Amino acid sequence: MTKFKDKIAWITGASSGIGEALAKAFAAEGAHIILSGRRVEALERVAGELPTDTLIVPFEVTDFGVLESKVAEAWAWKGRVDIFVNNAGVSQRSLAIKTAPQVYTGLINIDLIAPIWLTQLQLPKMVEAGGANIIAISSVAGRIGAPLRTAYSAAKHGLIGYMDALRTEVSKLHNIQVTNILPGSVATDVSRNAFTADGSTRGKSDQAIDGGDDPADCAKAILEAVENNVPELIFAQGMELDMAKLRHSDPDKLFELTTEFGAQVAERYESGDDA
């Protein structure tokens, strides 16, 4: 993938999971990497494992007052950002009926508003530079309504909508290519770090995530999608992939399946079994 040699790739949420795997995959192809996240020590660990130049730009994505300065810092490093990956995010595991309103605000700020801000702040720079690649890590839950994930699904649906609309404006006119990634279950800490009904961290994983795809395989598929300018990649297996496809091919069937599945999940959670 010679396309990425000497490119500058900026990845948010780069301290673990898909973000870390992407940093390693892009670096292996000769890209120089900007790593962002909240945990400086974790970012330093990832940077130490990369074979190319790296810059650490730590920040909290919802600290909106600093985002402009962080964008300026990232662009000043090598004079450009060729690839920007909106990966930072948080999931949810709670029933809507029990979830506090502020959980919705907090999660949507992280998973939707922050990616929009970070993208908007860079668009003029990307136009002036003659183009770029924007990668948005959404989710299969951004295509289907997933139980226990009402806030998460709302944010990820919104992210897909924003990026799809943005693509119509900037792809041909400005050579800014936009790729939406919809992972299913990938073996990361996404479930362990998920918000619960009161906004606290869940603190444990679940079987579907623990048995999910390797983040390195996900990263490899993402690089291939970007290299080939694929607008949307669904990286999922089995039922998750089938349901994502049903959203377009047979939405009535999808709603029937998710209603039955959701009822089973909700009943289990109502009884206190959130395993």
Query: Which residues participate in catalysis according to the annotation?
Result: 152
Angle at which helix 150-174 crosses helix 101-108, to 10 degrees, equals: 20
Query: Residue 272 phi/psi, 5° resolution?
Result: 95, 5
Alpha helices per DSSP H over 130-250? 150-174, 207-210, 215-227, 238-249
136 contact partners, CB below 8 Å, separation of at least 6? 86, 115, 159, 160, 163, 178, 179, 180, 181
Angle at which helix 215-227 crosses helix 17-28, to 10 degrees, equals: 50
Q: How far apart are CA 27 and CA 226, in angstroms?
A: 15
Q: How far apart are CA 274 and CA 266, in angstroms?
A: 9
Q: How far apart are CA 18 and CA 219, in angstroms?
A: 7
DSSP label at residue 213: B
